[in-house]
Amino acid sequence: MVGESRAEKSLTGVAVIGLLEPLGRVVGGEIQLNGERIDNLPKKAMRKIRGRRIGMVFQDPLTSLNPLFTVGD
């Protein structure tokens, strides 16, 4: 996802992967991954998806990515 500064890309990403703070919630719509709805999954099922099928690179990529590996790796 790309967009202007202050466009809430990080907040949207956190919502998609199910890591909103306790007071945060998705109030409309739904989140799908490959045609499967994931925003209403139990925490245990979401943990199986997170990191294997979906993930997030936080705003400082140097702390999240190893520059010695290609994106494909």
Q: What is the mean pLDDT of the chain?
A: 81
- Residue 10 — very low, low, confident or very high, per pLDDT cuts 50/70/90? confident
pLDDT at 5: 79
- pLDDT higher than threshold 90 for residue 35: yes
pLDDT at 59: 67
- Domain segments of the chain: what residues? 9-64
Q: What are phi and psi of 33, to 5 degrees?
A: -125, 115
9 membership: H or E segment, kind and range:
helix 9-16
Q: Which pTM was predicted?
A: 0.60
- Over residues 41-60, the pLDDT tens digits come to 998 999 899 888 988 776 66
Long-range contacts of 54-61 (CB under 8 A, 24+ apart): 54/16, 54/17, 55/17, 56/13, 56/14, 56/16, 56/17, 58/10, 59/10
CA distances from 5 to 9, 10, 15, 16, 59 (A): 8, 10, 18, 19, 11
